Every structure is written in structure tokens, then in C-alpha cells.
Structure 1
Amino acid sequence: MVGIRIKRLRIEKGLSINELSEKAGVSKSYLSYIERGIQQNPSLQVLSRLAKTLDTDVEDLLDQRKKAEPTEMIQVDREWIELVHDAIDNGVTKEEFAHYLDFIKFKNMNGGNE
């Protein structure tokens, strides 16, 4: 998806969404829609301005063979990382963690009622 590629390149370049928006001459809200996949077919003119600002070309932005790795798409909150480290430090195994997740999914499917 072009939005994921644009967001990844923006982050790699150390640009905020505001900075990329201003430098490329694309409204912040429209850029946000592209990055979130709400706007899936931005015009060639917009893609060209974004590509130039990100030091790449339109073909690179549209290249679907260059799928972003899941770890590149997800930025994990520091608190989540600390919770996982705490669980590991307290001896929680992967199997136990998976069991907890299954239990939470079960509770959510049943409206949180036991």
C-alpha cells in the first residue's frame, strides 16, 4: 500500500507529518488520509511531490514488491515493551502469554461477562 510506504519513508527521513506536508505542498489532512489508507489512489501530481520530498521516485512509492515488514509498520509503545519485559523477568513463558491472550479474546467475545 502506497500510504504505508510513504509513512515508512517519512519516518526514516525523520520528518513529522507536518514537515512532509509543508515541504511537499500537500495538506496535512490529505497526507494523513493517504498514510492511513483512507485515500488509496492519490493523484500522480501528489505522489510526485511526495516522492521528490522523500528523495525517491513515484515508481518506488507504487512498487508493491517492496512490502514493508510488520515491524516497520508498527511502533510499539514503551509501556508495552516494559510490560513484556516484566512478564519475561517474572518467568512468564510464551505459551502462558498466549494462553492469557486467548483468555482475553474469549472474554471480549462474550462481552466481558463471565
Structure 2
Amino acid sequence: MIGSRIRRYRKGAGLTLTELAERAGVAKSYLSTLERDQNTNPSVELVAKISSELDVPVNELVPELIEPEVAQFDNSDYAWWNLIQELRESGITLKELQEFVEFHKWKKQVRGDEPSSP
């Protein structure tokens, strides 16, 4: 379970429960419920913060819960994952995002920022 993994990595990093809670910006009591597996459904954002503070990849903490495309992310990809979540929550569709990317590529090509493809 996620709690035992968090506890193992926390202790391996030489951090107290209080120290990790403060660094991750979460209440000590909440972190304690996670570590004791009383709460088994933390947000992706919280897991990413904890994994960052413990310097371990997110998928080390929740390999069975995390979406497959996110499991390969390391901590440096957190900002991208957060942006993807924001886009989903804002209601943008995948097609709309793809259209934006294509428009952006076209605009760069027209300005001469990018060589044209054959």
C-alpha cells in the first residue's frame, strides 16, 4: 500500500513525519493517516509533492494506482502533469488541444522559426 511505501522512503531519507509533512505542505495528521493506510486515495498532486520531497519517482509510491501514462513520469514532469490536469478540468478536449498544437506549429513555420517538413 502507498502508506508503507511513503513511510519506508521517509525513514530512508532520515525525515520525521513532521518534517515531511511541513516540506510537502500537508497536515501531519493527514500524512499519518496515509502512512497507516487509513487514507488510501490521496490526490495526484499530493503524491507528486511527497515523491518530490522524498526524491523518488511517483510510480515508486503508487504503481498500482497511477495512470499508466503518468507512471513513467519523474518529478521533473510534474508541471506537465499538473497542466494536463488543469486542461482536463477546464473542459478542453483532446481534439481542441491537438488543434492548438497544430496551429502553433503552423504559426512558427509561417514566421520562419521552424523548417518546413517535406
TM tier relative to shorter chain: 0.5 to 0.7
TM-score by length of 2: 0.52
Partner of 2:25: 25
Partner of 2:10: 10
Cα displacement (A) at 1:63: 2.5
Q: What amino acid maps onto 2:60 in structure 1? A: D
TM-score by length of 1: 0.54
Note the residue ranges of structure 1 that are not aligned, 5 or more in a row: 65-114
Q: Which has the higher contact order (CA 8 A, sep 6+)?
A: 1
Partner of 1:54: 54
Cα deviation 1:35-80 (Å, max 9, x = unaligned): 000001111011000000000121111125xxxxxxxxxxxxxxxx
Q: Where in structure 1 do 4 or more consecutive aligned residues deviate above 6 Å? A: none
Cα displacement (A) at 1:32: 0.2
Residue 45 (1) aligns with residue 23 (2): no
For 1:42 and 1:51, locate their aligned partners in 2 and report how far apart those are by CA, in whole Å.
Answer: 12
- Name the count of aligned residue pairs: 64
Note the residue ranges of structure 2 that are not aligned, 5 or more in a row: 65-118
The correspondence of residues 20-99 of structure 1 with structure 2, limited to 5 A, is: 20-63=20-63
For 1:53 and 1:45, locate their aligned partners in 2 and report how far apart those are by CA, in whole Å.
Answer: 12
